[in-house]
Chains A and B, each alone.
Chain A
């Protein structure tokens, strides 16, 4: 099985996050410093910091680098005075997401672990605790698979099998999450002083970059009922699952603008039909983390037994 959905050649140090994508010679995608336009022609959608047309995507980070993604094959970046580290951060995030859509891939905003060869992913809004949970699970015996981005190839969803790819092999954790999970820092994410987010590599990391996705867990902290159970896992199906997963699409505005609403919903519907989708509602209070991480580890291990 191929390990990455595409290959990349780059003229800057992208660190270890996408090591398996990198080639020294010919590759599907070239990344190079160059001239980036201020604006695009024939714009079909525009957000505060980005523009999209039929073939191109443009992103300007405030006080930072600019990125021009062309036809799913080229990423041009203008450094605008910032370091390799800061260029790579947004290149492997937003620009990478746009590149995936241009190539017909569906990136999900998800972190994941692998257990007995199967991928279990966690998705949710920014701040929902995806990375922290994946780190916690890797400290509890499951193998870390990807952080922040999980790439689905809609062409590789067949029946009850959905192939997926790791987007990032380094984890990004805030300092309090490092302390909570016991994962060691590999250095700050940004060169900006006082930015308290770090790269980290959990102790148990799966080297493989692809696998079969079997469960997608949507992280919640509904915090509504005062007398609720501390942990609630609930399977969701059909339209309900579609509604919940819609918010888990990586950079939804890009998806609509580049992939198109119809293609996006078709891909999501096929994904929902192929994998187990559920919500995981739990406390976000730190003293409760051990309970919730252990509960999810047990669920994954039992799922595997039931499934296999």
Chain B
């Protein structure tokens, strides 16, 4: 087969910006913020985010672009095609793509990174305190079995979807593994943003993202303030109550649940917090995430 997609000597002008995170870490909020900053005309009651680009695990887009039925392929066979799938995505896109990613950064069975640097602009990496992630992730799955989500966060083999599910398999590599995988690689530039910092100063974080992306809006404080205003959590909650949100899992009551920090301390047991801290201590310390609530508030 002749080579397809972008080659090393003709990289795409824009490439894909990966919005990478473990689930429930501010990824959707970031897409909403960037949409309100750079493509506000496409945001309305039916559309929360207007950025071009989908999620890395979009099964029907994979089928359309590869010409193969993902549901007849094994998850490992799908991974063999994913690098070229993203290259083709970037090649045919008429505009800059922002692709949501819950996969850890890893290779496929042929030794090629799933997310190729040659079609990538960079990655904005969103991270959130694992205690709060656990509570939100349980809600996302439609249950309150926190022991189960603690095990998922601590499990380097934790996967999402795949097989007969509606999305392609995503190997999260666990909470720490996810963070480390994206930060150990050196091929794709990464901007790391903590969810807690977004809550504390949303405008400053959005400005950092805009600067990283080389957007002209980075210097437009009024536009940034407007985007922040339009992306306030209570506004998103009200909009979901009014018009619904397509990405809400059917098992859950609402997608935009609380949008705050600190639930992990109020809801998880001491034992569950201890299990998370023990398994993720190194990365938590790197991110100034402490196991004590007082420490969190100072973070």
Contact = CB atoms under 8 A, between A and B. Distances in A.
B12 to A, nearest CB: 16
Contacts of B70: 126
Interface string A24-61: 00000000000000110001001111110000001111
B80 A63 contact: yes
B253 A226 contact: yes
Interface string A186-208: 00011010011100000000000
Contacts of B72: 89-90, 93, 172, 189-190, 197
Interface stretch (A235-243, A247-255, A272-280): A247-255
Interface string B119-138: 00000000000000000000
Contact of B4 (A47, A59, A64, A190): A47
B253 A125 contact: no
Interface string A265-284: 00000000000000000011
Given A90-B72, A197-B72, A39 B1 contact: yes
Interface stretch (A11-19, A151-159, A217-225): A217-225
Contacts of A61: 68, 73, 77
Q: Chain A interface mostly helix, strand, loop or mixed?
A: loop
26 contacts: A38-B2, A48-B5, A48-B66, A48-B67, A48-B68, A48-B81, A48-B85, A48-B88, A49-B68, A58-B1, A62-B73, A62-B80, A63-B77, A89-B72, A94-B67, A127-B59, A127-B71, A127-B164, A174-B163, A221-B250, A223-B246, A225-B243, A226-B241, A254-B67, A284-B250, A285-B250
Interface residues of B, number: 39
B64 interface: yes
Contacts of B185: none
Interface of B: 1-2, 4-5, 59-60, 63-74, 77, 80-81, 84-85, 88, 163-166, 240-241, 243-246, 248, 250-251, 253-254
Contacts of B60: 125-127, 247
Contacts of B250: 221, 223, 283-285
A253 B166 CA distance: 21
A34 to B, nearest CB: 18
A49 B66 contact: yes
Interface residues of A, number: 49
Interface of A: 38-39, 43, 46-51, 58-64, 89-90, 93-94, 125-127, 172, 174-177, 189-190, 192, 195-197, 221-226, 228, 247, 251-254, 283-285
